[in-house]
Structures are given as structure tokens and as C-alpha cells.
Structure 1
Amino acid sequence: MPYRSAFDRSRRPLVLAVLSALAIPAFAQQPPAPTPADAVRTLDNVVVTGTRVADRTVAESLAPIDVITPETLQSTGTSELASALARALPSLNFPRPAITDGTDAIKPAQLRGLAPDQVLVLVNGKRRHTTALINLNGSQGRGSSPVDINAIPIAAVERVEVLRDGASAQYGSDAIAGVINIVLKGGAGGGIEAKYGQMSAGDGAQTQLIGDGGFNFAGDRGQVHLAAQALHNEQTDRAQPVDLSAVPLPNPVPPLGKVVQRYGDPKVSQGAISVNGEFAFTDDITAYGFAMASNRDALSNGFFRAANDSRNNPAIYPNGFLPQIHNLAQDRSAVFGVRGQFAGGWDWDVSYNYGYNHLSFNIEHTLNRSLGNSSPTQFYAGALEVTQNVFNADLSKPFDVDWLAGPLTFAVGAEYRREKFNESPGELGSYVDGDGPVNTPPGAQVFPGFKPSDAGHYDRHSSSVYVDLEADITEKLSAGIAGRYEKYSDFGNTTSGKLSARYAFTDAVALRATVSTGFRAPSLQQQFFQSTATNFIGGAPFDVRTFAVTDPVAIALGAEPLKAEESTNYGLGLVLQPADGLYITIDAYQIKIDDRIILSENLIGAAVTNFLAARGITGVTGGRYFTNAVDTKTQGVDLVGTYRWKLSGGNLDFTAGYNYNKTEIEKIAPNPPELTSGGLNLNRIGRVEQGRITKGAPRDKTFLGGVWNSDHWNFSVGATRYGEFTVLFDPASANRDQTFGAKWTLDLAATYKRNGWEYTIGGDNVLDEYPDEIIPPNTTGGQIPYSAASPFGFNGAFVYGKVGYKW
């Protein structure tokens, strides 16, 4: 199947003449900026996440909730929704991995240091589908298939509500770390904005155009709001030439004094659109719906193959070659529903939810060495696809109870969900083992295509029911209880529950607490995905096969059927308003996860190669599979404070946030006997994967910011400190472990506003901060200078301008 790009790859971005507006990242308690002096602060905003009470505000919430405003999301130079959220939330980690295959194109985000698929993403309160990609090659979130938040256009977002608490009893699977609910804009009004920016190093040029607009119709009984985003980002490159003094040197050595490797953000072109609307047939019946579509074309890089590398054919590439992966991600979703009110005050909501994600792999500037001189230089390597269909029915009603200070809100509902996962094979040349040199790895270099034996179509269904009660018991005490039963066709059933309470000692001091159990079902990708890819382990390349847990070879290596993760969450928080305009929240938490699903260590060595060859698997030098082998405990604290100082010429807003987060492994299941027999002597969960879970994300993160707003000007400054993290490079020894120090980044921007127009100039990381460099021998020949686990990337300063108009 030939490759067809959805974008013209030879296109160069149009230089947009711009200047525009930026407001620093804000947290739930920070008022939208700019706002009039009498505007409602976000602590007084009604929220819909984590509660089914109709008028519950952020300040009254029984669990910590952040409300991120659209001004915050568009306040920096980033064009990615996930990056914007990471700037606003100290507890969210969004690294920028490179040379990690499809993960370069679809990057994972972590909430409270947990796996990217342990946070549930909603759009308008409805479950968002995951991506088809499964992260495999060394990034944070290894083994997960998260939601692609960046497929949602920023211009479509009215606000983002982030529930930092376990919520499986309320929403089902995946809500262990919390819930991110993206609320879309509705009604009239809109705006348009253009941005152009570039890294101070001279690369990574970014062009973006976003816009949204809405209208009412049928006498304001109906409303429709449209949004769109188009962007083009050139790649960045921070690779260096080979350092002859470095140990070890690449073998064979690439051309000296010349940068042949590329290491940085991929080249990306993306277009995304959304529509959100509703129509009231009567005062009691309203139909609603929203839909989104996104196409992303991403070009990322692999490791350079030198001219005399055994994986190269000098007749095709006399000077060696840098293989590249071209991913096309297509994302589609649609939700349609009807809500209303029965006689007697029962609110009801019935909806259908469709989600689809398709990711194709096209390998370029490559070859299949086993095909000799006849090898093509590009291949279609196959595709992954997920589909989600969900039916929901919800009922709720507030009941007046004499002995309660407020109504008792009773909610009950049911859900039916069907999921599908497809893995499609690549073209023959992308995976075939030809008649070339002996011991040459078959398939396309950097990413062998999916074989027909890898391919498959898998599906499952689940059904669930829940009950939720919440009430103000006294004028000072509020409490809630929720329970959920869920049954899956592939692994069985599970039950989860939640208790929450809030006590207001005074108007200025309140204490809140939650305790809950939760779960995450193993994804279909974790159960059935299989492929072979090149991994560099200890500086040497290995062709490692990911086995499905049902594969006889995986079973012979100790694989077992996956079961659901089970969690227990505890939270305790303090909400303070010690002075007018000053808000402080402190929330401590503990999350224990049993039977955590992770990808095993890369099982390599001569014994493994022989073990696989004896079972007819040639050209492969390692294996791995998913397992429930680990129990973890995560403890941390979130602190957020905001203060507004009202001045005669405007408002001065200060924001501070801090997160401390520590994950420990409490138990590792006994090593299966299959891994210690027949001369294998392997560990299913080794020190590298243990280090990734416990030390791979920053231990803490701090944000300090200020923004001054007046009628015509906006000046903002935001400083973020990313704590230290550690990478374990050697699976056998601690001698090469490296801890990367804490770093501060500084963002600045200035905006001029007049007659609806906004002009901004700004800079992210204006001090051009980089993470610590990797110390040899952890980087082969010094070509890769920075760790892909860096929480703020490794691109340096970014300078941009924006111009926008709002109506």
C-alpha cells in the first residue's frame, strides 16, 4: 500500500505578521484574565466534574478541582492543549520524548506521576476515546495508550476542569489519578488568532491559525459553536557530532565532525475542527451534540546507520542513512444526546458516544537489508486503529429532606461500552526476510512493518451501573457517597466506591477529605498488540519483539492473562481564605495501586536469542510482554494560592503552585520460573523499569506567576521550577545511573488591546534554559546530549508573536 500524505510535505509555513496577547498560566483558583473588577472568580464558578449537584462551586467542592480558563490555555506560545495544561497544573507532567517511534507524534501526559492511561479524559462530561498507539520505547508512560489531548483544538475549549482525585466510582475505568473534563464553547461570539514563532537556536518555526465562532437560532432555542485550528511546526534538532573522546564510541563510527543524527521535536502539520450545539424542543427536552475531527502528519527520526553498519547497504546509501517514521494520525469523535426533566423533577440524559483513532506508519529514507540492492527506500509498515461506542443513561433528582440543611441529590445511571482494536499489516517488503546477508535483521530499518501474523481484530464490551448521593448535611458539613459495578466481557467484573466530605469551620477555613477505591481495565492494546522494533539498550541495538500475553512464546516466558488494576485513594485538603482576595488550598493524597499493568523489562541475551530461534522466531534478539507484576504507592501534596490586588489602573493577580509527588514500589510479584530455567536467568521487572516508575518524573514542580491587566495592556510573567529526575541507563548496574538537576524556566509576554484587537509579543523559556547534558558513557559518542525524560523538553528559548480579534 503506497503512502499518501494528508498534507503537502514540501509546503513551507507562511510567515504571519503578528504581535498578540498572553496571560500566564492559572490554576483553579485564579480569576480569568483579563476580567473586570466585579467579575466572578473561578472559586465561585459552578463545576460539573466530580459532582452531580447542580450548583456546586469550586470552593465548595468535596475534592480538589482546578478550572483552567481559555485565556490560560492560549496564554503561552505553545500550540498544544496538553502543553498548555502542563504549564497551568503543577501536578501534570508532559515531557517531549524523541526517537521513540510513534510516541514522538502522540506524546503522553502524566497526572500525579502515574501512567498516562490512569487519568480519565472527558469532553463535555462524556468519555473520550484513547489513541491506537501504545508507547513502547523508553518514554515516560511506557506501556500506556493515553488519550490524544492535542487532537482537540484549543479554540474550541471554554474551560478545563481537572479533578485531582480518584473517581472510578463516578466515571468508571481509568479515573485512578483523576479526571480531565474539557468543556467546549457554546453560543454566540468568537474570535480568530494567528501566531508565528521560532526557537532561539534558529529552528522549530511554528505557524498557527485558530478561530471560533457561534450563533443562536430559532429564537435562541438553538445554538451552534464552531472552532478550527491549523498549525505547522518545523522540527528541532539538538544532536551533536561524534565526540572522539567519548566512551563508548558508536560502532561503526559515523562521519566525524558532522551532525548526522537528528534529535528533537518532529515536523508536524495538523488540522482540527469541532462543532458543539444544542436545540431546545420544549422547556423540558433539549437535544445536544458535538463532534471533532483531527488529522496530524508527523515526521520523526530514528538512529543514524553508518556507511559500514551491517544494517546498511552501501550500494543504496554509500554515506549511511538516517531512517525516518512518518505517522498520520486521524482522530474522529461524535456525541449525540437528549436531556430533559420528567414530571416530579427527575432530570434525565440519554446519549450515544462514538470515538475513532487511526495511526499509520510510513517508513522513509530506509531499506530492508535482507532484500539486497533491490530494496525500496520507503515502506508502508501498517496501521493501528481503535473504535469506541458508548451508550449512557443518567437520572438525578434533588430531594428535600427535613433533617438536612440542603437537598439530597440522588443520581443513578447505566453505561454500555464496546471497544475495538485493529492491527493491520504493512506491505510485504516492510517485514519480509529476504535472501540477503546472513544474520541481517529483516524488515524496514528503524521500524519493521507489522506482519500478517501480528495483525488481528479484537473487541470487547462492558456494562455498568452506578449510584451517587450528595448533600449539605448541615450548614457546615457536606458529604457524598458513590458506588459503581462494572462487568467486562474479557476479564470479569469489579466494584468501586467513594466517600467524600467537607466541613467549613468558618467562611475562611474548610477541611475536605475523600477515600475511594478504583480500577483500570487492561486495554485491548496491552492484551493483543505485537510487533518487533529496534531498541538501544546499554548503547547497543537489539531487535525486541513485543508479544501478546496470549502468544505461546510469551506464555513460555512466563506471561499470564491480564487483570484489572485496583486502587485505593485517600485525600485530605484544606481550603483557606485568610484575607479578601487571597485563596489557598493544600491537598495531600495517597494512591495505592495493586496489580499495576506495565511492560516487562526487555528480555535480552544470547539465551533469549536461542530460546526464540528454537521456536521459529529469527532475526529477533529480545522479547517483552505486559504483566500485572507490580504494586505501587504514590504520596504527594498540592498547594495552590492566588491573590488579586485591585489597583486604580487595573488588577494585579499573583499565582503560586507547588506539587510534591513520590512513587514507591511496594511489591514485585515473584519472577516466573520460566525466566530462571533453561539458562535464561532473567528478571521480568528489572531495575530500569523500576527506576522509570519511581524516579523518571520530577519529584516536585513549582510555579510562580503574576499578571497585570488594564483596559489596554496586559503584562505577564511566569516562572516554573522542574524538580530533579533520574534515568537508569544500565539494566545490570547502578554505575551509570544519572540524576538530572532541577531547572527554572521563565515565560514573559506583553499584550496591547484595543477595539477587539489584541497584539502580543512573548517568549517561553526566555533564559534559554536546557536540562543537564547526559554524561558519557550514557550517550553513545555524545550524539544525544539531553534526556528525553526532561519535563520541559530540550529546545531552549521560543520567541513568538500573535495577533487576534474577538467579537
Structure 2
Amino acid sequence: MSVKFPAPNASRALLALGLLASILPAHAQQGQEGVPAAPNASADPQTVVVTGTRSLNRRTLDSASPVDVIGAREIQSTGSGELATVLGRLLPSMNFPRPSGADASDAVRPAQLRGLSPDQTLVLVNGKRRHTSAVVNVNGTLGRGSAPVDLNAIPLAAIDHIEVLRDGAAAQYGSDAIAGVVNIILKKGAEGGDAEVSYGNYDKGDGQQTTLRGSTGFKLGDDGWVRIALEAAHRNPTNRAGPDPRPQAGALQGQVTQRLGDPKSEPRTLFVNSQYRINDNVDWYAFANYGERKTSAAANYRTAYTSDARTTLRSTLYPNGFLPLEDSTSTDASLVTGLRGDLAGWRWDASVNFGRNRFKLDVDNTANLSAGFANPSQTSFYAGRLTSTQDVANIDVARDIPVAFMSGPLTVALGAEARYESYEIGAGEANSYFGGGSQGFSGFRPENAGKNSRNNQSVYLNLEGDITKELSGSLAARHERYSDFGSTSSGKASLRYAFTPAFALRATASNGFRAPSLAQQFYTITTTNFIVINGVNTPIETGTFAVNSAAARALGAQSLKPEKARNLSLGAQWQPTRNWTNTVDFYRIDIDDRIVFSANLQLSAALQRTLAAQGAYVGAARYFTNAVDTRTKGVDVVSTYRLALPQGARTDFTLAYNHNDNEVRRVAANPAFLAANNLLLVDRQTVNRLTVGSPKDKLSLSADYTQSVWNGRATVTRYGSFTVPQNIVAQDQTYDPQWVLDLSGSVRLASNWRVTLGIDNATNRYPAQVTSVGNLNNFGINTYSGFAPNGFNGRFYYVKAGYTW
């Protein structure tokens, strides 16, 4: 029996926090659940971290789990203004491909940690859970079927540093933390500020990017501060499509008709971070953001038909065919506010958290070619919107308790959390879905529309401390109850033993879970997909059905259940000198009942009639299912060395390497109804996309030189081999490893100004082109694969001018 829990009411929660503040007598600063805020971070192994620990003074050097700390300098070290792109270049365990022609996935591109699904990484901001995007990745990209956090909605201007926990942490943070945790720490304080303008351009002459960003702080009375970060950018599209050889292109035959590359994008974002000391014992804090990102992405080019009932309409509007544009607006908003302090030695933090992402889609430069359509001259359609919201209320307490038999205090942390989530689909205008709907993207229909919600409550306990001078350990346990599928529990144990001050071994074991998202349970739409049939890209009406719908049930769907994970890791830390630090961490992640998006089930005439009886008129269908068990094995290696040079100069060297191997250990039995109709729920392509679609290896070598006002940086990255799988073995394409060189240099002028010149992909490396076997390259038009980990845009030049105060 599920427990009903209403959505947290912000006004009531704030009143409760105010009353709590009036009776609690002490003061502390905390950055997350029971954890003090970290100082400005760097790559220094002595840096105090707050992610994955409740201890006050846990450093990267003595952490029981691997934590990467990425400072502001590293964040600004590339020409990209997208957070996910920056992380993909700085972290060997992070993969951020750049899909094109994948509908909404072009606008909200997913990132992978350790080769797992994008929604199996938990994202925090200042230690608080970040809401997910409303977009579901339902096309043939990496991360297919996921609805993760939109990392690119967080501007670089607002970030002080980032902590990346590369370990399972569901027992500490709850659902989604299977692959790890990305904790984004915002800039804080009233002092200082910075402003920067940057411009970049690709070697091919397209993709121009202009970015304005800045951050500054102000005093809030005598006892507080508020910090504001603003960022705005204009990014033109890139295009690496080949010429169109098809006669149906009319006068445009032999010219480039398709757009293959990054979409046009215009993000505008405001972030605010603040704190105020109410009295000597209590702090109030709040941080919030509001942002809009307008994106224009291209669908597949529609050629002019030569012998078709739609010839007259097509020749009237678009004599040579047309390129539909999916023009979206992603609106992102959040507010976190709370109080924190001490009570009789117990550190406490009580907060409320609201987050929402809304994705609105218009289809332009298009037409509805359905027979009987009443407005054949209409070329723009409102296709509908998606909205994902999250409300969280939590309270966390922690205390360091002296224990006689331990060399240090025992940190005891307790907490409780209540979370409410909703997911809503809003229908588009009737013309967008009439008949076959608008070309490029058929709008959401009234039968697709609706709002669904759920709630969950959780409690946790953490114990952590130094058992002896050499041995430290921690235990974590968490219990959660969801209104839609019941209860789940998870635990984690960690140990670290220092054989000498320079060498230590560490190990963790945990079990965890990921709750099926509301988007995976309720996303539904009917749209036109292109499927290669007999070597030809063929449009087919495809229905995505909610698992509990009559149409999905008719095809064998079952209710989704949580993914269950087991994480094991073993690592070594070696620091022979203060300037040289090395870590090696082996890991294994087993996931049972992993949620995947089914194959595109091409329906026979009989099955089409079966679904038509359920009100679904489609030629293909798909839905989400707990269909596979997977195992991920790998190793992370990180080595950093600081070389002191004459005249105060220094060079920082970093070697980072990740090897990752994924295998599918079990595929659920094919539903009998599908088997009887010669259909596979989970096809070869779905399985192999999980195992070989992302690079197995990634190596990064960087050198950062500083002397007086000068700085230079060089990074060489090797992206390992990967395979783009198909259902026909002969059509698989395996891509060779690719080496990419990034260079930048900067000079500080008049103490406050800094000018930077840089080249990303200085050697202008491209991945191999898509094979013509099976016409997967669409007659040579679709030249490059969206699986390529470094994209396929080529060399990028950029210049930045910044001012600090």
C-alpha cells in the first residue's frame, strides 16, 4: 500500500524553517546534507571535499572514494561555453557526443559517466539535488531512453568548482547515483567579480560563437552577501552534410540540402547565490536560477516527390523540397532556500528545493502533407510542450562524537527527505498532428497529453571516522518509499588503509537503485521516424506508448520497476612527494532490471489493426522495459605532478586514463505475443548500443605552464575505439581511436585584464565518415555519426578577453 504525500508547500516550509531557527542556538556553514561548504578548490590533493562524505575535513588525498575536483581555471581552459562539453574534455570517465538530426536530443544532449546511462549519474548544485530535463532521448543516440539533468543549463560564470564522485552513492544521496555524483559548487561571497567576452569560429567558416558572461557580489546588510552570475551566448549552427545526389532534390540536386552538425543555440541564464547571518547562531541561505535556451535544429530534408499524390502541394510550397526546423525553447528555473546552524554540537541543515524544466517545441519551414488538410499553406506549427518539476524538503543533522577506541571522532549523520515529482505533456495545435502531422515532428496529440506525479520519502544514516591512525571507514544506509512502486533500501561500506603516509589502499562496496523516471513511465507521442528499409530511408508513423497504456499492454508491456545496482571498487593512492599524486581505481557495477527503450517494432497489418482497436494508428511501436542486466568493469588512473621552475614559474602535468567495458549479462524473455509475430522487444542494436557504442578507452595528457603574467596550456586526448551497431552485423561500423590536441595561451595585462587565444582540435581531426553499406549514410548526405565522442566539427579558433576586480 503506497503512502500519499502532498507536494511540499513552500510558504509552510519556510515558516517551519523560521520557527526552527528561533529555537536552535548555534551556528555552522554547510554546503550539502550535513556537510560544511568547501573553500575555493583546486587540483591540490589537500583540498577539502564535501561530496561523498559528511566529515568536516575530508581531503581528496584521504577520501575513501575517488573524487575529482575541477577548479575554475580548468573550467575556463577550453573554447567551449557548454558545461557538459567541458566535463567531457576534462574527465576521461565522461563521454559527451554531439547527436544531430535526433529531434529534441539535439537541443538537450545527454552526457555519460563510466559508459552508463546519462540518468544514472546524480547531479547536485551546492549539495542539493538538481531537477531533470523534460526531454526524453527517444531516437537512436547514445543514452537512448534517458531523461537526465541538462548540464548545459548551468552557466560556467556561476561555478566556483566541481566535485565529481566516481562511485555508487545511492545510499548517501538516493536514486540516480549509480555511476557517480556531479556536485557543482557555486561562487560565493560579496568580494570581487569578473567579466568576459569570447568569440570563436570553426575552421570551415561556420559555427560562430559569441559569449558574454560575468559574476559579481554585493553585501547583504552587514551580515550577508549575494552573488549574481549572468551569461548570454549566440551560437550559429555548423554543417558537415554531404551534397544531395537524389534527383528528387530538383534544382538543388548536387548541393547540400541537409544540415548535419550543432544546432543554432541562444542561451540566456541568471544564477543567484546568497547567504545571511540571522544571528550569531543561524544562517539563512538561498540560490536560484532562471534561464532560457532557444535552439533551432534541423530534421531530415524532405525532397520534392516526382510521382506522388502530394506533388501539387509540395511544388506549390517548396518546389525543390524543404528542411524542417525544430525550434525549441527550454526554460529552466530553480530555487533552493534553507537555514543551518548548530544545536548542542549537532550541525543541522533544513531546506526546501523547487526545480522545473519546460521544453516548448515549434516546427518551422515545414508543411502538413496529409490528404484533406484544410490549410495547405501553413508552414509553422506549435507542436506542444513537456514539463518536469521537482519539489524537495529535507533536514539533515551531523555530529562528531569522540569514541574511546578510535583515533578520531565518529561522524554521525542523520537525515530525512520528502520529494514530489511531476511530468506533464501539453498537446500542440490540431494542425500539428492532423493526419500525419507536421513534417519533421508531428505534434503531441490530446490523447498524449496529461500530468502524472508521485512522491517519495526517505531516511538515511551515515557513520564515518578514523578507526586507527592508519585505518578509516564509513557506513551508509538509506530507506526510501515511493508512491508508485513501493520501498527500497540501499547500503554502502568504505575502508581506507594507509600503509605509509605516502601509500594507501581504499575499497568500497554498495548496493543502490534508480527509480524509473516519470518520463519513462508516461512519455507518449506519435511521430514520423525514418527507418532504413531495403536500403532506403523510409518514413513510418511510430507510436511511443506509456507502459501502462492499452496499446503497450497489447504488445506485452509490463509496469516498470527500479533498476538495482551493486558497486565494488578497489583503489590505491600514492603520493611520493607533495607535488606528485597518483591514484588507480578499479570498479565493477552490476545493474539488474536495467530500463531500456525497446526496438522500433515494425507492425504487420494484423498488428496495426490490433492497435487501431486501442485507438493507436501507427506502423511501428515502442515502449520502455526492464529488459536487461548489465555489468560494467573498468579502471581510472589519475597522476598529477607540479614542476617548480626558476623565476617563480611552474608547470602542472596531468595524466588521466579510463578503460571501461560494458557487457549485457541477461536479456529478458521476448513477450510471447511479439515472438508469435516475429518481433524482438530488445534487438541487437539496442543491446550493442549499451556495450560498444561509447569508447572503451580515453586518455588525456595535459601540461599547464605559468610564469609571471603568462600562461600556456596543451592537452592531448585520445578517444578510444567505438562501434555504431546495427541489427545486421555486416552494417556495423567500428571507428578507430582519434587523437585531439587543444592549445591555449593567455597573458595578464595591467593586473586586471586577461586575453586568451586558443585552438581546440588544433590538428583538425575528424572521425571516419559513415559507411555506405546499407545506405546508412543516406546516399552520402549523412557524412558523420552522432556517436563520435569529440563531435565532427573540426578545428575551432577562439579568443577571450576578461576583466577581474
State the TM-score, normalizing by the size of structure 1.
Answer: 0.91
Distance, in Å, in 1 between the alignment partners of 2:685 and 2:605 is 20
Aligned to 1:186: 188
Q: 2:60 is paired with a residue of what secondary structure? A: coil
Shift of 1:579: 3.3
Could you tell me which amino acid in structure 1 is paired with residue 586 of structure 2?
A
Question: Match of 1:563, SS?
Answer: coil
Q: Provide the C-alpha distance between the structure 2 equivalents of 1:86 and 1:283, rounded to a whole number of angstroms.
A: 43
Corresponding position of 1:292: 289
Q: 1:40 to 1:567 in 2, by over 3 A?
A: closer
- The 5 A counterparts of 1:100-499 are 100-187=102-189, 188-219=191-222, 221-243=223-245, 255-308=252-305, 313-343=314-344, 345-370=345-370, 371-372=372-373, 374-375=375-376, 376-433=378-435, 442-499=436-493
CA distance in 2, matches of 1:73, 1:252: 44
Provide the secondary structure at the position in 1 that maps to 2:157: helix
Residue matched to 1:437: none
Q: Partners in 1 of 2:767 and 2:75 — Cα distance?
A: 25
CA shift digits 1:20-74 (9 cap, x unpaired): xxxxxxxxxxxxxxx9xxx985211111100000110111111000000011111
Tell me the distance in 1 between the aligned counterparts of 2:795 and 2:596: 35
Q: Distance in 1 between matches of 2:703 and 2:254?
A: 45
Deviation at 1:432, TM superposition (A): 1.3
**Superposition map of 1:381-780 within 5 A:** 381-433=383-435, 442-538=436-532, 539-607=537-605, 610-612=608-610, 614-615=612-613, 620-649=618-647, 650-677=649-676, 680-729=677-726, 731=727, 733-754=728-749, 755-776=751-772, 777-780=775-778
C-alpha distance in 1 between matches for 2:416 and 2:603: 50
Q: Tell me if structure 1 keeps the 8 A contact 2:563–2:593.
A: yes
d(CA) in 2 for partners of 1:348 and 1:630?
Answer: 41
Q: CA shift at 1:688, angstroms?
A: 0.8
- Distance in 2 separating the partners of 1:46 and 1:608: 64
User: Which string of whole-angstrom CA distances, capped at 9 and with x for unpartnered residues, describes residues 510-567 of structure 1?
Assistant: 1000000000000111001100222222233322110000111110101000000000
* Residues 764 and 798 in structure 1, CA contact (< 8 A), matched pair in contact too: yes
Report the Cα distance in structure 2 between the residues aligned to 1:251 and 1:400, rounded to whole angstroms.
Answer: 79
Counterparts of 1:83 and 1:581 in 2: how far apart (Å)? 29
Relative to structure 1, is the Cα distance of residues 623 and 350 closer, same or farther in structure 2, using a 3 angstrom cutoff? same
Letter of the 1:354 partner, please give it.
F
Q: Distance in 2 between matches of 1:41 and 1:675?
A: 53
In the alignment, the residues of structure 2 paired with residue 716 and residue 330 of structure 1 have an alpha-carbon distance, to the nearest angstrom, of 35
Cα distance change of structure 1 residues 390 and 198 upon mapping to structure 2, 3 Å threshold = same
- Tell me the CA shift for residue 87 of structure 1: 1.1
Deviations 1:583-615 (A, max 9, x none): 110001000000001100110143476345642
Match of 2:32 in 1: none
Distance change (3 Å), C-alpha of 1:40 and 1:772: closer
Cα 1:394–1:428 change in 2 (3 A) is same
Amino acid in structure 2 at the alignment position of 1:96: R
CA contact (8 A) 2:608 2:617 kept: no
Task: Supply the distance in 2 between the matched residues of 1:646 and 1:681 (Cα, whole angstroms).
Answer: 67
Deviates more, 1:292-301 or 1:536-545: 536-545
SS at match of 1:475: coil
User: Does the CA contact (< 8 Å) of 1:316 and 1:373 recur in 2?
Assistant: no
Q: CA deviation at 1:720?
A: 0.5
Greater CA deviation, 119-128 or 80-89?
80-89
Shift of residue 317, structure 1, vs aligned partner: 1.4
Give the AA of the match of 1:662. Answer: D
Deviates more, 1:515-524 or 1:534-543: 534-543
Q: Deviations over 1:364-404 (max 9, x none)?
A: 01111114572211100000001110001001100000110
**One-letter amino acid matched to 2:709:** H
Q: Letter of the 2:341 partner, please give it.
A: G
Aligned counterparts of 2:392 and 2:274: Cα–Cα separation in 1: 20
Contact 2:249 2:320 in 1 (8 A): no
Q: Secondary structure at the residue paired with 2:353?
A: strand
What is the alpha-carbon distance in structure 2 between the residues aligned to residue 616 and residue 408 of structure 1? Answer: 60
Q: Specify whether residues 618 and 488 from structure 1 end up closer, same or farther in structure 2 by C-alpha distance, changes over 3 A only.
A: closer
State the distance in 2 between where 1:608 and 1:492 align. 38
Once residues 608 and 413 of structure 1 are traced to their aligned partners in structure 2, the CA distance between those partners, rounded to angstroms, is 55
- 1:348 & 1:458 partners in 2: Cα distance? 33
Displacement of 1:153 in angstroms is 1.2
**Change in 2 beyond 3 A, CA 1:445/1:608:** farther
Contact 2:363–2:441 (CA under 8 A) maintained in structure 1:
yes
Instruction: Please state whether the residue corresponding to 2:316 is helix, strand or coil.
Output: coil
Aligned partner of 2:660: which letter?
N
Task: In structure 2, give the amino acid aligned to 1:581.
Answer: N
Cα displacement (A) at 1:314: 2.1
Q: 1:774 to 1:40 in 2, by over 3 A?
A: closer
Cα-to-partner distance string for 1:653-686 (whole Å, 9 max, x where unaligned): 1111000001100000100111022xx2111000
- 2:214 aligned partner, one-letter code: G
Percent of aligned pairs sharing the same letter:
47
* CA gap 1:791/1:587 in 2 versus in 1, 3 angstroms: same
> Partners of 1:253 and 1:621 in 2: how far apart?
29
Q: Which shows bigger deviation, 774-783 or 402-411?
A: 774-783
Gaps in structure 2 of 5+ consecutive residues: 1-39
Q: CA deviation at 1:806?
A: 1.0
TM-score when normalising by structure 2: 0.91
Matched to 1:562, the amino acid is L
2:8 maps to which residue?
A: none
Query: Could you say what secondary structure the match of 1:210 adopts?
Result: strand
Equivalence for 1:94? 96
* Separation of aligned partners in 2, 1:161 and 1:618: 46
Alpha-carbon distance, 1:218 to partner: 3.6
- 1:44-63 alignment runs, 5 A limit: 44-63=46-65
Residues 609, 620 of structure 1: 8 Å contact kept: no
Q: 1:207-227 deviations in whole A, cap 9, x for unaligned? A: 0011001133443x2111110
Aligned to 1:784: 782
Q: Using a 3 Å threshold, how does the CA distance of structure 1 residues 40 and 114 change in structure 2: closer, same or farther?
A: closer
CA contact (8 A) 1:609 1:622 kept: no
Q: Residues 666 and 608 from structure 1, CA distance in 2 versus in 1: closer, same or farther, beyond 3 angstroms?
A: farther
* Structure 2 match to 1:439: none
Structure 1 unmatched ranges of 5 or more: 1-34, 244-248, 434-441
| Coordinate RMSD, CA, aligned | 1.6
Separation in structure 2 between the aligned mates of residue 41 and residue 263 of structure 1, nearest angstrom:
37
Give the letter for the 2:384 counterpart: G
Return the alpha-carbon distance in structure 2 between the equivalents of residues 218 and 373 of structure 1.
62
Structure 1, 42-51 or 277-286: larger mean CA deviation: 277-286
SS of the equivalent of 1:117 reads helix
